[in-house]
Structure 1
Amino acid sequence: MEFSLLAAGVDAAGGLDTVALSRWQFGITTVYHFIFVPLTIGLAPLVALMQTFWAVTKKPHWYRATRFFGVVLLVNFAMGVATGIVQEYQFGMNWSEYSRMVGDVFGGPLA
């Protein structure tokens, strides 16, 4: 069996076709989403714990740490939301037939 560049998503002119570009876009968005979401989930209890330590001890280093990691948490949360919204649109546009078949099952968790 001979390998064809056309089968690999490269058109006759040497550029990527629409399907290959869509796959790259979805892959890059998913990679960033899978970085930001777990980091946010891990930072939330950490920031809450530091806030609790500051409230109990009133030591300024806990306050500074809470402020710093709180900003990091907010940025990560915003990026996770942004990539998640883009992913939902990509599910609908790139895999519309798949979305129609499994929409009742996966629609709730994705919303």
Structure 2
Amino acid sequence: MDVLFLSRLQFAAATIFHFLFVPLTLGLSVMVAIMETKYVRSGDEQYLNMAKFWGKLFLINFALGVVTGITLEFQFGTNWSRYSAFVGDVFGSL
């Protein structure tokens, strides 16, 4: 196993782990918004309790997504520094 393969393996594992949080965060945000809208329209306390419960899980999930995203950003800088320098010059000029 060479260094390039291990770097790719590490980045793949981190990306897969990060991708678990992305769709879950998007789905939970829509679900909590719908529950809060139903609470405002109907006044039923059950929707408020549901929104509070799922809102807490949303915040935890969002925080874990941010942490894994920062990990990916550092891996770009450490494992793929030449690629990051090239892409930074391309996107920096836009």
Shorter-chain TM-score above 0.5: yes
2:66 is aligned with 1:66:
no
Which of residues 23, 27, 33 is equivalent to 2:18? 33
Size of the aligned set, in residue pairs, is 92
1:29-79 Cα deviation digits (max 9, x unpaired): 111111101110121121011011112212121012101110111111001
Partner of 1:23: 8
Q: State how 1:1-111 maps to structure 2 within 5 Å.
A: 9=1, 18-106=3-91
Mark the runs of 5 or more structure 2 residues left unpaired by the alignment: none
Q: Secondary structure at the match of 2:67?
A: helix
Partners in 2 of 1:92 and 1:38 — Cα distance?
25
CA drift of 1:18 comes to: 4.5
CA drift of 1:24 comes to: 2.9
CA drift of 1:21 comes to: 3.8
Superposed CA RMSD: 1.7
**TM (normalized to structure 1)?**
0.73
Identity within the alignment, %: 50
Using CA pairs under 8 Å that are at least 6 residues apart, name the structure with larger relative contact order, 1 or 2.
2
**TM (normalized to structure 2)?**
0.85
Where is the helix percentage greater, Structure 1 or Structure 2?
Answer: 2
Q: Which amino acid aligns with 1:27?
A: A
Tell me whether 98-107 or 32-41 shows the greater mean CA deviation. 98-107
**Residues 106 and 91 (structure 1), Cα distance of their counterparts in 2 relative to 1, 3 Å cut:** farther
Which has more radius of gyration? 1
